Amino acid sequence: DQQVKQNSPSLSVQEGRISILNCDYTNSMFDYFLWYKKYPAEGPTFLISISSIKDKNEDGRFTVFLNKSAKHLSLHIVPSQPGDSAVYFCAASARFNGGTSYGKLTFGQGTILTVHP
């Protein structure tokens, strides 16, 4: 049972344009959402997060939007740069509803982003 889904395995974008990566979840207990970036042969690197009490969080070129009613979140990267090319993982946790396992993350399958110069 895939509780966090990233339905697009890959995305190709031109440098300078917007990249939009999407993520859907099914578990209504999730109350905190994160995006991680991963290069080959390296561990995931935290990018940005959002709490379920918000619908938008912005950090530089990265903005995450959360639509709780649709159980959907998206990551916008503007403008996209070739160095953004990596695998992006959406993750979710149940901070307050998960008891002591608040730090347990459920990951999507990842989306490979390629930004062309």
Partner 1 sequence: NAGVMQNPRHLVRRRGQEARLRCSPMKGHSHVYWYRQLPEEGLKFMVYLQKENIIDESGMPKERFSAEFPKEGPSILRIQQVVRGDSAAYFCASSPPGQLSRRNTEAFFGQGTRLTVV
Residues that bind partner 1 (CB under 8 A): 4, 6, 32, 34, 36, 41-46, 49, 89, 91, 93, 95-96, 100-110
Minimum separation from the CB atom of position 52 to partner 1 (A): 13
Minimum separation from the CB atom of position 100 to partner 1 (A): 5
User: Which of residues 77 and 108 has its CB atom nearest to partner 1 in the complex?
Assistant: 108
Minimum separation from the CB atom of position 99 to partner 1 (A): 9
User: Which of residues 79 and 105 has its CB atom nearest to partner 1 in the complex?
Assistant: 105
User: Which of residues 14 and 26 has its CB atom nearest to partner 1 in the complex?
Assistant: 26
- Rounded CA gap, 107 and 105, in Å? 6
The 3 state secondary structure assigned to 42-106 is CCCEEEEEEECCCCEEEECCEEEEEECCCCEEEEEECCCCHHHCEEEEEEEECCCCCCCCCCCCE
18: which 2 tokens?
Answer: 């917007």
